[in-house]
Amino acid sequence: MTEKQIKEASVLTKAEDTNIRKQFRLLVENSPRLKKKADREMVEKAFNLAFLAHKDMRRRSGEPYICHPLAVARIVSEEIGLGALSISCSLLHDVVEDTDYTLEDIEHLFGEKMARIIDGLTKISGAFSEQSSSQAENFRKILLTLSDDMRVILIKLADRLHNMRTLDAMPTEKQLKIASETIYIYAPLAHRLGLYKIKTELEDLSMKYRHPEIYEEIANKIRLNEKRRIAEINRFSLPIIQKLEENNIRFDINGRPKSIYSIWKKMQTKNVSFEEVYDLIAIRIVFDPKPRVSEKAMCWMIYSLITDIYLPKPDRLRDWVSKPKENGYEALHATVMSHEGKWVEVQIRSRRMDEIAERGYAAHWKYKGINSQESGLDTWLKRIREMLDNPNKNALEFLDDFKLNLFSSEILVFTPKGHIKSLPKNASALDFAYEIHTEIGNHAIGAKVNHKLVPLSYKLSSGDQVEILTSDKQRPQVEWLQFVITAKAKVSIKNALKSEKNNRIKIGKEKLDRTLRALKITPNAYVFRKLMNAYETLTKDELYSKIGLGLIELNNIEAILKKKSQNKLVRYWSLQFLKSINKSSPKKKQEDSGTVGNKKKPILLRENLDKEDSEYVIANCCKPIPGDPVVGYLDNQLDTIIIHKANCPNIIRLASKHGDRIIPVRWTTHKVKSFLSRIKIQGIDRMGILNEITTIISKQLDVNIRSVNVDVLDGIFEATIDLYVHDTIHLNNLILKLAKIKGVDSVNREEYTGE
C-alpha cells in the first residue's frame, strides 16, 4: 500500500494528516523496543492498514478515529513497555470489529499470532455491552486468553485508559457506565498485574465521572496547596540527597501527591477530613545497586540513612523487599516525621523494582529467570486458569470468583515447615487448607494456629503458623461457603458438593429402578407423579437424591401407588410461591402470598440439599427446628420467608400489623441440614457423668456438640448444652436417651437465642 493510495483514500484535513504522521513518528522514535528494521516495518504496515480501514471514521469528539489506536499503541509501548507485535495489534485492535476487514485478512497479512490477539481484543470489547449474564460470559471467554497470550489483557487496559482519558465527549449515562466498569474490573486488574501507574490513573478518572463534585473539591485543594507542597518536598528531600551523595549512592528522587482516589478512600475509611489525611505527599527514591551489594541490603541501608535524619513511624513500615507482593511489586515503604511536624511516606526501590512497579507484567517477564522461585503473579495466573478450566462454572459465579482474586490486601502465613503462603485479608483456616491442596481442604476438620486449636472458620492474621487437621471421613459442607473467601476454596467446595449430588442421584436412581423391577412396576409419568407427591419432592433428581441419602425408604411403594391422590395443589402452589419469591416484584410477591394464604395451602419447607442459599431463613429470635409448629412471614426487604415458631412473640406482633404477609408453612423431611438447639440437664453429680452424657450425644447418636456449660453446687449439677439436630424427632430421641442415665433427674429443651 503506497503513500499515494493512503492519501487518496483519506478525507482528513491537511492539519489532521500532519498531526497523525507526527504522532506515528513519535510512536516509533519513543518505543524502546523498536530497534530492529523488521519490527519497524511491521508496525508501519499495521499503521498503514489501520489508517486506511478507519479513513472515514471519527470519534464522538470529532477527531479522526485513527488517533485512538495511535494513542493506545503509545501507551502499550511507552507506559507498559511491550514490543513490536503488541504495538501492531494496538494499532489494529478495532479494525475487525468496526470495519470490513476480517480475522482471515489479518492472519493473511500478519500471521496467526497477531490474528489470535486481535480476536481476543475483538471479543473483549463486547464484554460489558449486553445484559449482565452475557457480560459475565463474555468476560470469562476473554480471560481464557490468560492461558494463551497475556498481551490481550495488557492492550485492553491501554485501550480502556485512553477511553477514560477522552471520556468527556460521551453522554453522562455512558460516562457513568464506563467509569463503573473501570473501577469494578479494570483498575483491580491493572493492580493485580502490577501496573500501579495505570491503576492509579484509572481509579482517579473513574472517580472523576462517578463522584464529580467530590473529585473537583479534592483536586482544587491539592492545586491550592501545590506551591507549598513543592517547597515542603524540597526542604524534606535536601538532607536525604546530601546523605545519599555522601555515601556514593547513585539515585533519582522525586516527590508526588497521593492520588485523589486514595485520598478520598482514606477520608472514607478513617472518617476524616482532607486536612486530617496525614501523609498527603510521598517521596520516591530509585537507586542503582552497587557492585557486590544486594538490592535488599541497599534498601535497608538507605532506610537507615533516612531514619538517622527523620523519626520513623514503626507501625507504618512496609517490607515488600523480603517478601514481594503477589503481583511482583517490590519496595520498602516507610513513614517518617518531617522537621515541620508532618508525616511523609518514603518509597525505596532499585531501578529494577521501579520498572516492575511501573510496567508490571511486561517487566516481570523481562526479569524472569533472575529469581528461580515461582512469583506470586505466576501463582495467581495458575489460579485463574484453574477457575477457567472448570466447565460447570456459571458465568456470573465466575465473575464473582474472579473478583475474589483481585484483592489489594494480603496476609502472609506460614506452614508448619515454615513455608510462606500469601492469602487475601480475612482468609480463614479453611482457605489456607485449600491453598495447600484441594484434598486437604476437602477433608479438613480443624486447624492449629500458633499451636492452638481453632475451628476452620478462624480468620488468619499475618505471621500466623497454621497446621490443618484432617480426617478421611470428613466431606465438604454447604456451610463452609459462608466463611471461605478465596476463589480456589469456593470452587473446590462447590465442585465437591456437585460431585456428591451427582453420586447421590445415581445411587438413588439405581435403588428405585431395582425396587420397581422387583415389584414388576413399569416406571412412567404416573408412577413418578405419585411418588413425588408422596415424598414431597418437586423433581426426579430431588427424589433420587433423597433416596440416595437414605431419607426415603422404598418399602411402601405399592401402598403409595394404590392410594388416591390428595392435595395435588399443595405441590403446585409451593413451587409457584417459591418462584414468585425469587422473581416477582415486591407488589407481585405480596399478591402471590395472599393467594396462597387465601387457599390455605401450606408452603413446604423442603430441605435444600444442593444449594448454598435456601428459599427460607430461620428466625434468630426463636430458632425453630423441623417438627416445631411454625408460621412463615414474607419479608419484602429480604425477599424471603422467615420461619418463626407459632408461639413466638415476634410473629404474634407481626401478624397483628401485617396479617397479609403471614404464610402457612409446614416441614418436610430434614436429615442433612442441622439446626442449633439447646438442652438443659439437671441431676446428682457423680464421677464420669459428664463423659457419659457427651458419649451418648456425640458417639451413640452422632450429634455435634457446639458448647457445654456445667455448674455444680452441693452435689447437684446443671448442664446447658448447645448442639446440632435435624428435627424434633431427633431431639426428642436424644432427650429420652439422656433421661435414662443414672443420676440424671431431668432433661428439657431450652429456648435457644444465642448466635
**296 confidence band (pLDDT: 50, 70, 90):** very high
Q: Is 581 a residue whose pLDDT tops 50?
A: no
pTM of this prediction exceeds 0.85:
no
What local confidence, expressed as pLDDT, does residue 608 receive?
55
CATH of the domain spanning 220-366, picked from 3.40.1400.10, 3.40.50.10490, 3.40.50.2000, 3.30.460.10: 3.30.460.10
Cα–Cα dist 179/208, whole Å = 9
What local confidence, expressed as pLDDT, does residue 705 receive?
79
Is the CB of residue 14 less than 8 Å from the CB of residue 6? no
Is the CB of residue 572 less than 8 Å from the CB of residue 599? no
* Identified catalytic residue from 56, 97, 613, 660: 97
Q: Is 65 helix (H, G, I), strand (E, B) or coil?
A: coil
Residue range 60-79: mean pLDDT, rounded: 91
What local confidence, expressed as pLDDT, does residue 588 receive?
39
Residue range 709-723: mean pLDDT, rounded: 84
More confident residue, 676 or 346: 346
H-only helix segments in 324-375? 351-359, 361-366
Residue range 639-652: mean pLDDT, rounded: 82
* Identified catalytic residue from 16, 44, 63, 98: 98
Each residue's pLDDT tens digit, 256-286: 778 899 888 888 877 778 877 766 778 999 9
CATH of the domain spanning 3-210, picked from 1.10.3210.10, 1.10.10.10, 1.10.760.10, 3.40.50.2300: 1.10.3210.10
Q: Is 97 a catalytic residue?
A: yes
Q: Is 689 a residue whose pLDDT tops 90?
A: no
Each residue's pLDDT tens digit, 410-437: 777 888 887 778 788 889 999 999 989 9
Residue with cell 477511553: 163
H-only helix segments in 476-539? 487-518, 525-534
Percent of the chain whose predicted confidence (pLDDT) is above 90:
22
Grid cell at residue 208 = 472523576
Q: Is 42 a residue whose pLDDT tops 90?
A: yes
What local confidence, expressed as pLDDT, does residue 423 receive?
83
More confident residue, 507 or 606: 507
Q: Is 380 a residue whose pLDDT tops 50?
A: yes
Fold of 675-750: Alpha-Beta Plaits (3.30.70)
More confident residue, 370 or 274: 274
DSSP line for 233-251 = HHHHHHHHHHHHHHTT--E
Residue range 494-523: mean pLDDT, rounded: 84
What local confidence, expressed as pLDDT, does residue 586 receive?
40
From the list 353, 384, 345, the residue with the least C-alpha distance to 289 is 353
Residue range 548-554: mean pLDDT, rounded: 75
**439 confidence band (pLDDT: 50, 70, 90):** very high
Q: Which of 445-449, 648-652, 697-701 has the highest mean pLDDT?
A: 445-449
Q: Is 755 a residue whose pLDDT tops 90?
A: no
